[in-house]
Amino acid sequence: MRRRFLIIFLGGFVAIFLIFNVRFLYANIRYWIAPGTIKNQNATMPSPFPLAQDVRFKPLPNAANLVIDSLGVNAPIVFNIPGNNDAIYKALEQGVVHYSDTIKPGMRGVSVILGHSSAYPWYKGKYGSVFALLSKLNTGDRFYVRYDDGRFFIFEVEKSIIFNPLSDDSRFRELDQTDGASIVLVSCYPVGTSYLRIAIKANLISQ
């Protein structure tokens, strides 16, 4: 009787886990079977766009995509969202969200991009687990931001940290320090929880 109960309990637990993490599992499967620009360094990547004068004199548009090929990420960046939680969570249904108090990706300074790592199966929108595999990015890995006007900005990962958003973690404040143009990708961690955060800092590669 106990063995039967244990089998039923474990089976139910596994079933519930699979239902609530189907997006994460799908992302992992796709990661391992689909080559990308990080797993395959010979894959085609756009030429780096230099940190040049026309970034200042020619404003960047409010339409861009964040592309991390090896993670299967190609998501719209949603701009001009108020800094309150309700507005941000609503906008996350449309892609990843640019934190409006920071500069746009590619400009001198630090840009912050927020994205979901997990969501319920009934979550509205297709970006509920867009950052599910963010922890797979390592130092030296590359990804890029493509604006609708054709400009590309390629970033190379410098470091990643896991922190408690309710604590005064000096490591997170250090991510805001840069001599050029940097981007910080932020999401909940581990997948399926909101207790901690993962932050990936990457720097612009310029010619």
Reported as a single tens digit per residue, the pLDDT across 8-43 is 645 554 445 444 555 555 555 566 565 555 444 444
What pLDDT, on a 0 to 100 scale, did the predictor assign at position 165? 85
* 91 or 121, higher pLDDT: 91
What pLDDT, on a 0 to 100 scale, did the predictor assign at position 166? 83
Tell me the average pLDDT of the chain.
80
* 98 or 171, higher pLDDT: 98
Q: Where are the alpha helices (DSSP H) in the chain?
A: 2-20, 22-33, 54-57, 85-91, 170-174
Q: What is the mean pLDDT of residues 95-118?
A: 94
What would be the CATH architecture of the domain defined by 2-204? Answer: Beta Barrel (2.40)
Range with the lowest mean pLDDT among 60-69, 72-81, 154-163, 190-199?
Answer: 190-199
Q: Which H or E run contains 108?
A: none
* Model pTM score: 0.78
Measured between alpha carbons, how far is residue 129 from residues 44, 112, 121, 153 in Å? 25, 18, 10, 24
